[in-house]
Amino acid sequence: MTWNYRVLEFVDPDSLEPWRAIHEVFYDENGKPNGYGEHPAGVVWDTEVGDGEPGRIIEMLAMALRFPVLVERDFQPPNTEVKPTREAGSA
């Protein structure tokens, strides 16, 4: 399994306003996203790995900004209907 950091867009269920965060995203053997970390990514490291580690993490986080933003439907199995976040005609 491979992974990288990606920007994910979510929709607040109350306000229906979109918001974004960087998460770890996991891919299947075909390179399709199939999951993501529950919590947004942070810069945390063990002191044993040295002070170069935060710079490496920050570079990987910055790379996430170069890729297209992922949304919930990007993680749906094929032929799965994605339900709209609000009903047609509602504002």
Residue 51: predicted pLDDT: 87
Quick count: other Cβ atoms within 10 Å of Cβ 90?
7
- Taking only the tens place, the pLDDT of each residue in 53-91 is 999 999 999 999 999 999 988 987 765 554 444 444 444
By percentage, how much of the chain surpasses pLDDT 70? Answer: 84
- Whole-structure pTM value: 0.79
Q: What is the mean pLDDT of residues 40-44?
A: 94
How do 70-71 and 33-36 pair as beta strands? Answer: unpaired
Using DSSP, how many helices (H) and how many strands (E) does the chain show?
Answer: 1, 4
What is the spatial distance between Cα 80 and Cα 83, in angstroms, rounded to a whole number?
9
